[in-house]
Amino acid sequence: MENNQIDFFVISDSVGETARKVLNAVLSQYPGVQPIIHQYPFVRKQEELENILINAKEKNGIIIHTLVIDNLSSFTEKYCQTENIRCYDVLKKLVEDLSEITATKPIKRAGALHQLDDEYFNRISAIEFAVKYDDGKDPKGLLEADLVLLGVSRTSKTPLSMFLANKNIRVANLPILPEAQIPEELWEVNPKKIVGLTNDIETLVNFRKERMIAYGLSEETIYSNIERIKEEINFAGNLYNKLGCYVINVAKRSIEETAEIIIRNVLNK
């Protein structure tokens, strides 16, 4: 084998950390080996797995896997036997012995060690959704969201969206300004899925002045002007009335409190 180079294919239906650590532990005993490590985490489809195995065969590689999903594990074993590929199932022997000793069957859930189940992937998807459709970036998200948050600046739209996303709720939020055009998509959304956020005028004045100072700017700007803020609050209030949506004043409320109100009074109805 030229230059002692070996291709290792680390395959997992989860993160693949276990197989990678086992491989690294073994390789530490062979300093002369030059490993080329191909890592394939979150393999959940047979078509994807087959392509990886074909690649391993072409490179005369070694398979190391922690596949616990039955059809993927058995497919890998049969394929490697047929194609004469070196294959090591890191978990198989210990799992079989424990099953025999305890007279119980393994749950065979991918990512059980790291809690990488469907709930985990749904949460990641919701977080990605919240980032993609934050601050009205794409009005199409309003139609796909589980919840739409509206509000003037400094009503906690973004942090609230992320908090709810961590509860697997797909949230799109839209800033409300008197001079900004309201996207047509908003009027197509079920009002029961919309929450209008508002705040006390004095609280908003203080928040916005603090924000300007943090940016190294003067606190006296149109952004923090009390008359301008009154105009924004009134415009938002009129819009909420037209929509017939649920309204929450976030003044003196934590993100957690506001989220609980939304879950209880909007999402659970």
Confidence (pLDDT) at 2: 52
Residue ranges, comma separated, of all CATH 3.40.50 domains in the chain are 2-102, 123-267
Tell me if the pTM is above 0.85. Answer: no
pLDDT in tens, 170-193: 999 999 999 999 999 999 999 999
Collapse the DSSP code of 37 into the 3-class scheme (helix H, G, I; strand E, B; otherwise coil) and give the result. strand
For residue 158, say whether it is annotated as part of any ligand binding site: yes
For residue 148, say whether it is annotated as part of any ligand binding site: no
Q: What is the mean pLDDT of the chain?
A: 90
Query: What's the rounded Cα separation, in Å, for the pair 166 and 131?
Result: 12
Query: What's the rounded Cα separation, in Å, for the pair 192 and 209?
Result: 34
Confidence (pLDDT) at 124: 81
> What confidence tier does 78 reach under pLDDT thresholds 50, 70, 90?
very high
The angle, 0 to 180 degrees and rounded to 10, between the axes of the packed helices 201-214 and 226-243 is 120
For residue 156, say whether it is annotated as part of any ligand binding site: yes
What end-to-end distance do the CA atoms of the chain give, in Å? 66
* Averaged pLDDT, 220-239: 95
For residue 151, say whether it is annotated as part of any ligand binding site: yes
Q: Which residue has 């993609």 as its token pair?
A: 132
pLDDT in tens, 131-168: 999 999 999 999 999 999 999 999 999 999 999 999 99
Give the burial string for 208-234 (b: 16+ CB within 10 Å, else e): bbebbeeeeeeeeeebbeeebbeebbe
198 and 236 in contact (C-beta within 8 Å)?
A: yes
Q: What is the chain's length?
A: 269
Fold classification of 2-102 is Rossmann fold (3.40.50)
Region 123-267: CATH code: 3.40.50
Burial (CB count within 10 angstroms: exposed 0-12, middle 13-18, buried 19+), residue 9:
buried
How large is the greatest C-alpha to C-alpha distance in the chain, in angstroms? 78
For residue 18, say whether it is annotated as part of any ligand binding site: no
Collapse the DSSP code of 89 into the 3-class scheme (helix H, G, I; strand E, B; otherwise coil) and give the result. strand
For residue 152, say whether it is annotated as part of any ligand binding site: yes
> What confidence tier does 117 reach under pLDDT thresholds 50, 70, 90?
low
Between 100 and 127, name the one with better pLDDT: 127
The percent of residues in the chain predicted with pLDDT above 70, rounded, is 93
The percent of residues in the chain predicted with pLDDT above 90, rounded, is 69
Confidence (pLDDT) at 71: 85
